[in-house]
């Protein structure tokens, strides 16, 4: 059946809120899209049992679905045996880390073969997947949508906010070291209490906030004079996009591919991050026009253009 506005699309797993963001927009246009979230992966009898029960329910109910879009490649077995068109969507660590793990790699390889199309969420993943899935194509993430009437907080002078979790995939201990230097310089450094090195970040003097809903996180980001993004890969994370949506200067790794000639802010190097952030906050901050940042992210990752691109993909495989 050719894709149409009546095609029933099921998104499997709400990775970084990308599926729920695009689905809300699709439903505002009367598209019958749904998001099916999965139980968290826990390698325990109860954890594995919850996944098994969920999979059993999914297999019984998927006859009511016309197209399946599975997010995060380790979940690819949810499209095995499906009769209609299907999409396997790589989001990051599934390509960089999970695909190298014995056993998991075989699940991913089987899922690539079973899918009608394979896509990836950030431009840098094309090179990572060049051998594993050479026919994979880039499918842009929509930027987060802020609620109607959302007003960013005023930036707090001297405040730096780190938007990424404290993990090796985002910059690891070098991010912690940069945060410690900024604290020693006299900056008020804030972040989310999340990730492998969160205790080390706390010990470095970072003021930690609990995990919170996206709208509250957007408000926290907007209090930063400068926001430090992720440094694990040369692309924008969802938190980076949210930073730009609230019009705050983002210091992140130099970007590649589609962004490198148009991104309105300078990139930073992890080894000299603290010095670069301090210099930007004290000498260059007044030159930043927040409307330039919000306009750029809307142009590159606006929800309507992303919805059209995703639907074009569905038409191509139906």
The radius of gyration computed from the CA coordinates of the chain, to the nearest angstrom, equals 20
* Per-residue confidence (pLDDT) for residue 175, from 0 to 100: 97
Task: Return d(Cα 169, Cα 164) in angstroms, integer.
Answer: 10
Above 90 in pLDDT, residue 174?
Answer: yes
262 against 9, higher pLDDT: 9
10-to-96, 108, 119 alpha-carbon distances in Å: 25, 19, 16
Above 70 in pLDDT, residue 44?
Answer: no
* Band (47; pLDDT cuts 50, 70, 90): low
* pLDDT, averaged across the chain: 94
Above 70 in pLDDT, residue 165?
Answer: yes
Count CB neighbours of 291 within 10 A: 8
Mean pLDDT, residues 183-199 taken together: 97
* Per-residue confidence (pLDDT) for residue 255, from 0 to 100: 87
* Per-residue confidence (pLDDT) for residue 45, from 0 to 100: 66
Above 80 in pLDDT, residue 14?
Answer: yes
241-to-40, 121, 246 alpha-carbon distances in Å: 25, 13, 9
Q: Which residues pair with 189 in a beta bridge?
A: 160
Mean pLDDT, residues 35-41 taken together: 89
Above 80 in pLDDT, residue 42?
Answer: no
Q: Which residues pair with 207 in a beta bridge?
A: 190
Above 80 in pLDDT, residue 23?
Answer: yes
Task: Return d(Cα 241, Cα 146) in angstroms, integer.
Answer: 11
* Per-residue confidence (pLDDT) for residue 43, from 0 to 100: 61
Above 70 in pLDDT, residue 2?
Answer: yes
* pLDDT tens digits along 80-133: 999 999 999 999 999 999 999 999 999 999 999 999 999 999 988 999 999 999
CA angle 146, 151, 156 (to 5 degrees): 115
Mean pLDDT, residues 225-241 taken together: 94
Above 80 in pLDDT, residue 228?
Answer: yes
Most confident of 36-40, 49-53, 190-194: 190-194
* pLDDT tens digits along 143-153: 999 988 899 99
Contact criterion met (CB below 8 Å) for 41 and 104? no
* pLDDT tens digits along 256-297: 777 767 889 989 999 999 999 999 998 877 778 899 999 999
315-to-84, 118, 127, 306 alpha-carbon distances in Å: 12, 14, 26, 14
289 against 33, higher pLDDT: 33
* Per-residue confidence (pLDDT) for residue 284, from 0 to 100: 78
* Per-residue confidence (pLDDT) for residue 1, from 0 to 100: 77
Above 70 in pLDDT, residue 206?
Answer: yes
């Amino acid at each position: 059946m050719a894709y149409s506005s009546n095609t029933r699309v099921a998104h499997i797993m709400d990775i970084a809120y990308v599926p729920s963001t695009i689905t809300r927009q699709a439903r505002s246009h009367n598209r019958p899209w749904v998001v099916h979230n999965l139980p968290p992966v826990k390698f325990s009898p109860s954890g594995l049992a919850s996944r098994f029960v969920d999979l059993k329910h999914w297999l019984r109910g998927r006859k009511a679905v016309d197209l399946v879009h599975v997010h995060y490649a380790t979940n690819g077995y949810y499209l095995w045996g499906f009769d209609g068109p299907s999409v396997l969507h790589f989001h990051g660590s599934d390509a960089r880390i999970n695909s190298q793990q014995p056993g998991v790699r075989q699940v991913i390889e089987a899922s690539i073969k079973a899918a009608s199309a394979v896509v990836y969420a950030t431009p840098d993943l094309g090179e990572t997947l060049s051998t594993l899935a050479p026919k994979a194509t880039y499918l842009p993430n929509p930027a987060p949508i802020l609620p109607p009437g959302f007003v960013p907080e005023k930036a707090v002078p001297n405040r730096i906010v780190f938007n990424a979790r404290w993990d090796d995939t985002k910059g690891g201990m070098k991010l912690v070291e940069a945060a410690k230097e900024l604290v020693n310089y006299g900056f008020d450094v804030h972040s989310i209490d999340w990730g492998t090195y969160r205790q080390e970040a706390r010990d470095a003097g970072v003021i930690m906030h609990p995990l919170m809903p996206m709208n509250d996180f957007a408000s926290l980001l907007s209090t930063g004079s400068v926001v430090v993004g992720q440094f694990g890969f040369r692309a924008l994370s969802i938190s980076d996009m949210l930073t730009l949506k609230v019009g705050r200067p983002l210091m992140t790794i130099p970007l590649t591919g589609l962004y490198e000639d148009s991104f309105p802010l300078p990139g930073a190097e992890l080894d000299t991050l603290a010095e670069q952030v301090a210099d930007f906050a004290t000498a260059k901050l007044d030159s930043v026009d927040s409307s330039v940042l919000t306009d750029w992210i809307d142009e590159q990752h606006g929800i309507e253009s992303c919805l059209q691109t995703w639907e074009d993909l569905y038409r191509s495989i139906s």
